[in-house]
Structure 1
């Protein structure tokens, strides 16, 4: 009988049961941690997409605002048969470009100059006080910048510039002329880039026709074209003013004129844009006949402000609880074995 009792004591799984308890606890902890992490990642994705969509909407809204300003400028020419430099300057001052519309380089008017009108235009501009005015690149179809406000150093170098001579600008001008609608150009280097801090740029054109109204046919629009109210933009200046919230939220972004490539890059917010973040998104914007592609990704540390620590807290707590329960189980098993051994010893002593 004593041998049978000793056998039962030796066969008791003194280590197996606590080990099973710990293993079961760790498995449940891992499964729970996985579910928590999946939920956290889904919430983080929604938060990230929300920030991206807000940023994209901000760019679209700002450019819509600029188009409204250009339409107001075109209205000035529709209301007056002959707009003077002083009248255009007064209009630009009233709209308060630099204060109310950050990111815009200026607002101007490019006049279509028919053959034989060159000298008259130069004489008129000199008479209005622009004594340095002259036609730049007067080749082919001539469209001369006659007004450009504010009259700062950058904009002064563009006076008399024939934008229509250059293919990217010409495509946008011709598209605006033929459609009667605002047209955005592709990426260019603005003539205003006079210092070392050069940026990619683009231009927005609003056509102006004789008598103000948009003619019914393309042929009539081409014949009646008077010029363009337009705005030049330095892409970096514009986008930094539109998207500060994206940077504050921990996002980097790169904006391309069309498909992403080095040649089409308008601006990137960081010199090390490419990262290993799993949070990335691509958005497109259709703006006045052009499509921009904007790539967003979360910078290192983006998740620090979220519930990223929740999963680790759960895993750590679950592991500690599993080990504690395993330890308690081991103590109970050990105590039971000790008690049984004591009983066996007493029986042996009494035998």
Structure 2
């Protein structure tokens, strides 16, 4: 079975999995909530737009009903001047109104009399009831049983062409006239082209309110008692733009008249950016599907106007929008996960360092107990021998015992120094304190501390040896004493050990070369690790700390060690230390 996680990576993997899982779950939840919030905002906005349009059309209906009350309340006929005075205030208060008009019902026998009145009123400019021919030109109306000509209209300017126009001559207007007459309620037309409006890209509509000579309850009575119609003339664009004038929004929409035939349903397209309603062809699909209205039907609202139903198709913006809360949740979740991982990594590194330091201490204590036992035994035995047999020992034997004690003491001192150096370095307590060092006397003193085998010889070479250097004397002492001691220890008798000091532009090179047993190639990568010794050392005593101490001191200098070795030509170890000005 493959092991997916080891014991060290398990906490990291666990935090990563949990962190990413919680982050993704929270991001998904916030994303869903934000989408629902945007859907709700979109619906509220479309509801506000729809309510504004419905409120405006209701106001226009109420206005027409209030004008109709004038006719119902007055016993005397309403003349032009009275009509004009009554509607003037409304025209100023309702900018969406194109015109307010009165159109009486004129039977065929009354036509001649009406046209005489019309001619007098226009000073001979118009003498007949009119209608549009197939080419769209105004012509005298054909003979019919009755007519509904526009008689009073305000404002007069720009609407004078509508005077005398027979509203019943147009099929669209006639349908609304008959519906209003039969129901007694306001009735709106489908989209029409106004007689007075030459713009081909503007649709308008009329709303008729029937006026009766006597109250009528049935359809037949209403037809018999019909006197005429109060009507309002409206451009669709004026109504929509006036309704939405005080609303801010970026939602485009189409308006369709659901009560009309399919080819005549489009009333206009509202561009939220320009805040204008224009006429243009509808989209191929009338139900928009987006994240704001996933069912499509959520984008559709309806309003009622004069017994007709207008459908408003809202078009959510196709511009991509950024879910800021979702993105923030994702980033915060990833940030928290990353912080936890960093904290865990540091904690694991500190724990690993503590374990390594603890292991090093155990190794040091174990090694110390083993390596110190031999020199202590030598010192103890030699001291006891001197104390017990001083009188019987010759001078040469006494000097030999003292020499053994001194050698063992130096070995113990060097071992203790190495242990202290590594321990302080691991604890971060080993300090770097450079000072000016005269290299020649410094190296000569080192030579005196090296225990050489019979016939071994130390030489000091190099052009830079006679100069001075700005280095840490204690650390440099630890580097060179260990390199020279190792060279002497692993070199045969009667061999030469060379210390060569050279200078480069930015560094000093301390090279220790010997003709010893060399270092096996497979051991070169580990030779600077504490307690590591090559397999070819045999019975030569040692703790494996010398090169580790030398590398630690070189690192503290900002330098490094290099090694070149061969079993037949010896070893060359070089300490490269930066020159400090």
TM-score tier by shorter-chain length is 0.7 to 0.9
Q: 1:110 to 1:251 in 2, by over 3 A?
A: same
1:168 paired residue number: 172
Looking at structure 2, the residues matched to 318 and 88 of structure 1 have their Cα atoms a distance apart, in angstroms, of 72
Of 132, 152, 157, which aligns to 2:157? Answer: 152
TM-score using structure 2 length:
0.53
1:116-195 alignment to 2 at 5 Å? 116-129=109-122, 131-133=124-126, 134-137=128-131, 138-139=141-142, 140=144, 141-153=146-158, 155-195=159-199
- Conserved in 2, the CA contact under 8 Å of 1:108 and 1:229? yes
**Could you tell me which residue of structure 2 aligns to residue 202 of structure 1?**
205
Task: Specify the alignment match of 1:257 in structure 2.
Answer: 257
Contact kept? 2:211, 2:229, Cα under 8 Å? yes
Distance in structure 2 (CA, Å) of the matches to 1:336 and 1:302? 49
Q: Which of these residues, 269, 278, 293, is aligned with residue 291 of structure 2?
A: 278
Rounded Cα–Cα distance in structure 1 between residues aligned with 2:210 and 2:259: 27
Find the aligned partners of 1:57 and 1:85 in 2 and give their Cα distance.
36
Aligned-partner SS, 1:145: coil
Deviation at 1:276, TM superposition (A): 7.0
Q: CA 1:237 to 1:264, structure 2 compared with 1: closer, same or farther past 3 Å?
A: same
Q: Which 10-residue stretch deviates more, 295-304 or 219-228?
A: 295-304
* Cα deviation, residue 348, structure 1: 4.6
Local SS of the residue matching 1:116: helix
Cα gap change, 1:67 to 1:131, in 2 (>3 Å): farther
8 A contact 2:103–2:148 mirrored in 1: yes
User: Which fold has the larger relative contact order, with Cα–Cα distance below 8 Å and residues 6 or more apart in sequence?
Assistant: 1
- Hey, what's the Cα distance between the residues in 2 that align with 1:73 and 1:131? 30
Contact 2:63 2:90 survives alignment (8 Å): no
Q: 1:85 is matched with which residue?
A: 80
Cα distance change of structure 1 residues 257 and 43 upon mapping to structure 2, 3 Å threshold: same
User: Which structure shows the bigger proportion of residues in helix conformation?
Assistant: 1
Range with greater deviation from structure 2 (321-330 or 36-45): 36-45
CA distance in structure 2 between the partners assigned to 1:219 and 1:12 by the alignment = 96
- Find the partner of 1:335 among 330, 335, 350: 350
Structure 1 residues 107-141: Cα deviation after superposition (integer angstroms, max 9, x where no partner) = 00112121122221122233345643331122334
| Contact in 1 for aligned 2:39/2:291 (Cα 8 Å) | no
Gaps of 5+ in 2: 132-140, 272-277, 294-298, 368-581
Shifted more, 56-65 versus 36-45: the winner is: 36-45
Deviation for aligned residue 1:345: 4.4
8 A contact 2:97–2:232 mirrored in 1: yes
Distance apart, 1:330 and its partner CA = 1.6
Measured in 2, the distance between the counterparts of 1:298 and 1:243 equals: 17
Could you list the per-position Cα deviations for residues 126-180 of structure 1 after superposition, in whole angstroms to 9, with x for gaps in the alignment? 3345643331122334211111210122x11211111212221111100000111
The alpha carbon displacement at 1:295 in A equals 1.6
CA distance in 2, matches of 1:80, 1:107: 21
What's the counterpart of residue 7 of structure 1? none
Secondary structure of the residue aligned to 2:148 is strand
| Cα separation, partners in 2 of 1:323 and 1:259, compared to 1, 3 Å | farther
In 1, the alpha carbon distance for the partners of 2:19 and 2:123 equals 84
Structure 2: how far apart are the matches of 1:195 and 1:12? 81
Report the counterpart of residue 12 of structure 2 in structure 1: 18
Tell me if the contact between 1:14 and 1:334 (Cα under 8 Å) persists in the aligned partners.
no
| Residues 148 and 296 of structure 1, relative CA distance in 2, 3 Å threshold | same
Shift of 1:23: 2.4
TM-score (norm 1): 0.85
CA contact (8 A) 1:157 1:192 kept: yes
Match of 2:310 in 1: 292
Aligned residues: 331
SS in 2 for 1:192: coil
Q: Segments of 4+ in structure 1 off by > 4 A?
A: 259-262, 271-277, 300-304, 345-349
Shift of 1:46: 2.6
1:69-108 equivalent positions in 2, closer than 5 A: 69-78=63-72, 79-93=74-88, 95-97=89-91, 99-108=92-101
Q: 1:328 to 1:289 in 2, by over 3 A?
A: same
**1:106/1:148 contact within 8 Å kept:** yes
What is the root-mean-square deviation of aligned Cα atoms in Å?
2.7
